[in-house]
Structure 1
Amino acid sequence: MKIAFLVRDLCHMGGVVSATQNLAGALAQKHEVEIVALRKVRDESYFPLDPRVSVRVLSDMRPHSPVSDVDDPLSDKFPLVYPPNAGAKTPVVSRLAELRLLEYLATTDADVVVSSSPRNTIMLAQAPGDYLKVTQEHSMPSIYATDIKQRLFPAYLALDALTALTPEEVASIGRQVPAVRDRLAVMPNCVPAAPVRSKGTNKVVISAGHLTDNKNHALLVEAFAKVLAEAPEWTLRIYGAGAEKNKLRARINELGLANSILLMGQVAPVTPEFGKGSIFVLPSKREAFGNVLVEAMAAGLPVVSTDADHGPRNILTHGEDGLIVPRGDVDEMAKAILSLVRDDGLRAKMSESAVRNAERFHETASRERFEAILERAFARKALPRHATARVDARGNVHVGVGPLPAQAHGADLVLRRKAKEIEEHRFAFSPAGDAVVPWDAGVPHGTWDTVLATASGAEVPLSTDGYGCDTRDLLAVELPRTGDHSLALLLPHRHDDGRLRVRSALREAHAEVGPVQVDKEAIRVQADLWGATAGGGAVVEAVHRKDKERVLTFPLKRTGDGRVSAVIDCRTLVDQHTDEEDKEVVWDFWLRPADGAPRVALAKLATDVLAPIDVFTFPRPVITDTDAPPPSAAPSPSVVRRAVRKARRTLGAAPSAPATARRKTELRPYFTMLSQFAVKTVRL
């Protein structure tokens, strides 16, 4: 197959560039591979690239290049879609590169396009091509800037596979974007075997990385000072460049250790230098993976590393090929280094284990791991994902996806939702791609996502279009039901994101709101009571949304055939909106069938209308107080507390005039998002 890796450029030193080039080379053993770089600013990459991998450059920003794009008027314009770098005065990726990227994504003949950065992923997700779209997360999306996450996380939904470096990061992404859990996989970076192996005899400790606060070489300097107090013949070499260099140099000089702790500068490639050492140390505060750890292990160096999230603990085996110490602990790091400095036999034993354990990140293992991810993604992509849904006269929901491919025979329709725990219900698809959700399947009350899941574990969410849900016969379903649930009704619908969902309305007892009449005096509500009988002490109760202790009761009248009615006095609701409260007060309405009986929600659920709040609307009467507001009913303790806080905030303000102004209160009857009847009183 043809695999294309999408990168910003190959012109900087970093783990992402190294890992991408290494994996591309590993895959080139069996596949056609190209790297597509949005720009080029230097002649050569810092890392070796397999000659079988081709490189396509979309914008050449080298002034001396015979195909330079420097003079193109779009080369210094910011992109319109590609997310720019925050605070940049000139574009890192230009409008020119963006346009060429869009053209590439629309015309490429690649079977797979792999993004290695969040900005490229955002672009890839919008591409029209039918190729496999894959992203590799080399960092931690949870720490990305908010503006990137707001575009990146929705983009994940359009991808066929996502990889992260560690199981912990896979779990983290799954928590942040639950809809992509089924297409996440662990893919550690590819790190080739070392060209040079350490003999383990030089009294040299090696560290390498950008000299930044996160890499925390300052900790290593302090720890090695303690090592030198007991083993002065050893030397520490730190390879890299960065903003912390001067600060590190000053501290080394302050400690008088300029002859023993050497800042070696930036070396490319750095791995041959590892053969000169006998121990490697990684002092990072945070490390998504740590290519340098594997490179050191492959060179035969036992490793001392902080327990930085989450890479080191997924690479090292503590006590076998290295030692893991707590982050930020100078003493523990010094102790770990000393244990290897003092014990030649331990170093040799760990060196052998390090070389052996590094093999699982080398080319062959990485290629096979990535091929397996692509194989699962292709199988998933072949699954049908467009569905239709129909409700029959009994209320059963029939879902069709068309004939299933052979690998999908035995698949299930899964209804799934996530509350505290993931809950799901399964219904078998026939080979023809039909599944039935019986009305009496007992699917709990709520809204459920639909998923096609194969026996092998591959899954795809089901989508539908504006013609995909036939609910004509739902209006003919006879209610109430007989049995345990008087209300059992399934409503398939198309969500705003295009996904097929099913709302289950399931109630043992239910009060279905019927006609509602509203005027300035009263709100008259009729309802059908199912699964319960109105008896002595039956009332309608209005419960204050914020203060559940405040309850208003209104008489309930039986009108025959299970129908009941209640008259809600508007003035009562207005008077109960006390001056100490907010501008708006909401009362949720319940029916209590008898004295001491459980409440039953007054709601609009026996309908094909998904959101009654938008459809069933009522007049909004305004009640005007012509004189000073009448005394409120005795407020609850919570209202008193709010009044005290309000008085404290206004302490020292000028006394207010006597309350003689005309006060207006609007009453707004409506159905909530949960379809329950409520009334909001609003001070105008």
Structure 2
Amino acid sequence: MTGRDIYFVSNNINEMGGVTTWSHQMARLFAERGHRPRVTGIVPAPEELRTDLGDLPYPTDTLYSVHPPHVGPVRGVKGRLNLAERRRRAVREAGMREAAERLSGIFRNARPGGIVICTQVWAMEWVALADTAGMPVIGMTHESFGACRSSSRFQRVKRHYEGVDRLLALTREDADLWIRAGMDNADFMPNPLPVMPDVPSERTEKVVASIGRLSDEKGVDLLLDTWALLTHRHPDWLLRIYGSGEDEEILLKQRDALGLERSVEFMGRTGDVPGALRGASVFAQASRAEGFPLSLMEAMAAAVPCAAFDCAPGVHEIVQDGEDGLLAAPGNINELAAHIEALMTDKELRDRLGSTARENVQRYCTDRITQRWEELFGFLER
């Protein structure tokens, strides 16, 4: 087969975050290998969270011009008699059918060997209504089983992904947990390494870097509390936080309340992650929840040793504690501070871990991961 039509369907096509980064990275990789990717979003991303995608070598679509009306679950007789809610529900259902028909029209252009990859379970509600006849459907969950289990998404994953050809988690550990939860179609596929910079960090700058969205799950508030335990002993070191998000204002207030104005710099979003990492000697991550964190992989590729909370299987799948990074119990800021301090003060340790990290992370190189995807496509086609 010379190339496949590969249809990515997500909640939207350009909201900043890991799913968007992954979708467009994989679409580019498939295009480079002669496939014909197309990325479709259900709704527009919120304006304040949109990212500029630049020129793309493949088509993109968004099914709705505005977000469809929200409807809640029907509760009791009173809910069934609520005329306003019934109208909203009818409008939403009619809109879903129309949007699903547009999606069907996109899928009908597929040549033999076409594949549908639904990256988020909410988007699967439209994929399930669309005509996917003759094409395998892969459903994905880009978070750990534990994070999903504690959210409203868990029951939706079980309901909407039950009949897909594969439910892909990010790690074998998560896939096993999904199988135990009754999803016999579960398997796993790690994320590919976003970039392998030619020039790694020299690890000589007195800078600890963190990269990620400024939101609760990324734990930047915990990182600030961690840094407050260190800065008085290391006043010549800086913590640079790259990223933007809904919690930026409250995090700035927290920084100032902790007296960290001189030692913590909020750098905003960066379009040059390798450059940011070349200027750092240590990478810190204090996330409450993760899937398969790209930022850890990016830091390791830059030979910057990581200290992170072991908050998900994806974290300890990427970072081997004591071999190519240091892991702390989730939420334990004292342990995380000790790990960061060890890397700050022991150049031999950070050089050893950083060099090993750059070597080890290449097991996720793009060629290997893309090959695994193509092997999965071939298997599902049989």
Partner of 1:191: 193
TM score, norm. by length of structure 2: 0.82
The CA deviation at 1:235 is 0.2
- CA 1:323–1:220: 2 relative to 1, 3 Å: same
Partner of 2:220: 217
8 Å contact kept, 1:22–1:363: no
TM score, norm. by length of structure 1: 0.47
- CA 1:223–1:150: 2 relative to 1, 3 Å: closer
Q: Which ranges in structure 1 are unaligned for 5 or more consecutive residues? A: 62-74, 81-86, 380-684
Q: 1:133 aligns with which of 119, 133, 137?
A: 137
- Classify the secondary structure of the residue corresponding to 1:206: strand
- Deviation per CA, 1:445-467, whole angstroms, max 9, x where unpaired? xxxxxxxxxxxxxxxxxxxxxxx
Q: Which ranges in structure 2 are unaligned for 5 or more consecutive residues? A: 72-87
Partner of 1:166: 171
The CA deviation at 1:265 is 2.1
C-alpha distance in 2 between matches for 1:162 and 1:188: 13
C-alpha distance in 2 between matches for 1:94 and 1:198: 51
- Classify the secondary structure of the residue corresponding to 2:200: coil
8 Å contact kept, 2:103–2:127: no
The CA deviation at 1:123 is 3.1
C-alpha distance in 2 between matches for 1:378 and 1:79: 37
Partner of 1:255: 258
The CA deviation at 1:45 is 5.0
Q: Which has the larger radius of gyration?
A: 1
Q: For CA contacts below 8 A with separation 6 or more, give which structure has more relative contact order.
A: 2
C-alpha distance in 1 between matches for 2:331 and 2:167: 32
What one-letter code is carried by the residue in structure 1 that aligns with 2:161? Y
8 Å contact kept, 1:239–1:263: yes
Q: 1:99 aligns with which of 98, 101, 126?
A: 101
Partner of 1:479: none
RMSD: 2.9
Partner of 2:161: 156
- CA 1:286–1:16: 2 relative to 1, 3 Å: same
- Classify the secondary structure of the residue corresponding to 1:13: coil
- CA 1:374–1:236: 2 relative to 1, 3 Å: same
- Deviation per CA, 1:157-206, whole angstroms, max 9, x where unpaired? 3322221101222122212234x2xx322111122324453221111000
Q: Which has the higher helix share?
A: 2
Does 2:122 match 1:115? no
- Deviation per CA, 1:468-500, whole angstroms, max 9, x where unpaired? xxxxxxxxxxxxxxxxxxxxxxxxxxxxxxxxx
What one-letter code is carried by the residue in structure 2 that aligns with 1:306? F
- CA 1:248–1:152: 2 relative to 1, 3 Å: closer
Q: 1:281 aligns with which of 280, 284, 288?
A: 284
Partner of 2:149: 142
- CA 1:211–1:31: 2 relative to 1, 3 Å: same
- Deviation per CA, 1:221-262, whole angstroms, max 9, x where unpaired? 122122222221110011122333233222322232201011
8 Å contact kept, 1:4–1:34: yes
C-alpha distance in 1 between matches for 2:231 and 2:156: 50
- CA 1:357–1:48: 2 relative to 1, 3 Å: farther
- Deviation per CA, 1:349-398, whole angstroms, max 9, x where unpaired? 2111111122122211111121222233223xxxxxxxxxxxxxxxxxxx
C-alpha distance in 2 between matches for 1:76 and 1:60: 7
Equivalent residue runs for 1:21-420 within 5 Å = 21-38=24-41, 45-46=51-52, 53-59=57-63, 61=65, 78=69, 95=96, 97-109=99-111, 111-126=114-129, 127-139=131-143, 140=145, 141-145=148-152, 149-178=154-183, 180=184, 183-195=185-197, 197-379=200-382
Q: Which has the higher strand share?
A: 1
- CA 1:47–1:281: 2 relative to 1, 3 Å: farther
- Deviation per CA, 1:264-297, whole angstroms, max 9, x where unpaired? 2233454432221111111011112211111111
8 Å contact kept, 1:76–1:94: no
8 Å contact kept, 2:100–2:127: no
- CA 1:273–1:60: 2 relative to 1, 3 Å: farther
C-alpha distance in 2 between matches for 1:298 and 1:47: 23
8 Å contact kept, 1:47–1:269: no
- CA 1:120–1:200: 2 relative to 1, 3 Å: same
Alignment length (residue pairs): 350
What one-letter code is carried by the residue in structure 1 that aligns with 2:142? H
- CA 1:77–1:241: 2 relative to 1, 3 Å: closer
C-alpha distance in 1 between matches for 2:132 and 2:323: 49
8 Å contact kept, 1:10–1:40: yes
